[in-house]
Amino acid sequence: MRAPDTNEILLHVEGVALAFGGVRALRDVSFNVRKGEIRAIIGPNGAGKTSMLNVVNGFYHPDSGTITFKGRTRTRMQPFEAARGGIARTFQNVALFKGMSALDNIMAGRTLKVRRGLLWQMLRYGPALAEELEHRRRVEEIIDFLEIEAIRKVPVGRLPYGLQKRVELGRALAMEPDLLLLDEPMAGMNLEEKEDMSRFIVDVNNHYGTTIALIEHDMAVVMDLSDRVAVLDHGVKIADGTPDEVKKSQAVIDAYLGVSH
């Protein structure tokens, strides 16, 4: 069910720059994400990957440059606007409600889809109940999809890290996003967990047709997953292309392995 490989551009980032005081995190970075692809942004530590993601979903406002998402161009956007516009994300250091169950966490991802007001929801009766059941059904599909039935009612704080990451992915999926941003989805995982997560990412892309932009530190993982890869180093884009092209790029090899001076 993979979305057709059109060349339709879903997200276009043009000339973005961002500085924190004297630190220039991003310098004139441009790239785009096509509808239906898995797009990776990689780079060594401190390359500006997470900053880039934060700019896309409105956490940071770029000092210059524009972001065009679904044909609308803007320089400033609040995170909730991004969410409403169809951008969902996960975080490098898992940001879940630790005391809530996996199910409730994923239900939280449906918040923006709830049509009834707060009062109706508190009554939990009639149309509000019907709506909640519908949301629950969607959430159960995600739980089934991510194979986390066994931890449905477990508070996420008690779950191992790899599963927390999966719950977080579930919450992002619950938003039915047009663009899914994954911030180091494989960080801190063991090999088996990495393989599981890779499979889920590919499955999400195939099954839901979701466009995915992911940041990753580990190059090997990314090369197998992604359609196209952009490489950042010290806030500058040094390469962009298919995994094979990027692998051959001398600039990338130097950035990762270092050059003798």
Binding stretches for other proteins (CB under 8 A): 1, 136-137, 140-141, 143-145, 147, 149-150, 152-153, 203, 206-207
Cα–Cα distance measured from residue 30 to residue 68, given in angstroms and rounded to the nearest whole number: 11
Cα 242-253-48 angle, rounded to 5 deg:
75
Element (H, E) at 28: strand 23-34
Tokens 């059904």 belong to 137
* Residue nearer to other proteins on the CB measure, 5 or 144: 144
Give least dist CB 208 to other proteins, A: 12
Give least dist CB 18 to other proteins, A: 40
* Residue nearer to other proteins on the CB measure, 18 or 142: 142
Cα–Cα distance measured from residue 110 to residue 116, given in angstroms and rounded to the nearest whole number: 12
- Which pair of structure tokens corresponds to residue 28? 């004139």
Distances, alpha carbon 88 to alpha carbons 67, 99, 175, 183, 218, in Å = 16, 22, 7, 11, 22
Give least dist CB 79 to other proteins, A: 30
Give least dist CB 126 to other proteins, A: 21
Give least dist CB 151 to other proteins, A: 8
* Residue nearer to other proteins on the CB measure, 63 or 227: 227
What number of other Cβ atoms are within 10 A of residue 20's Cβ? 9
* Residue nearer to other proteins on the CB measure, 81 or 141: 141
* Residue nearer to other proteins on the CB measure, 95 or 150: 150
Give least dist CB 149 to other proteins, A: 5
* Residue nearer to other proteins on the CB measure, 146 or 255: 146
The percent of the chain in helix, strand and coil, each rounded to the nearest 5, is 40, 25, 35
What number of other Cβ atoms are within 10 A of residue 181's Cβ? 26
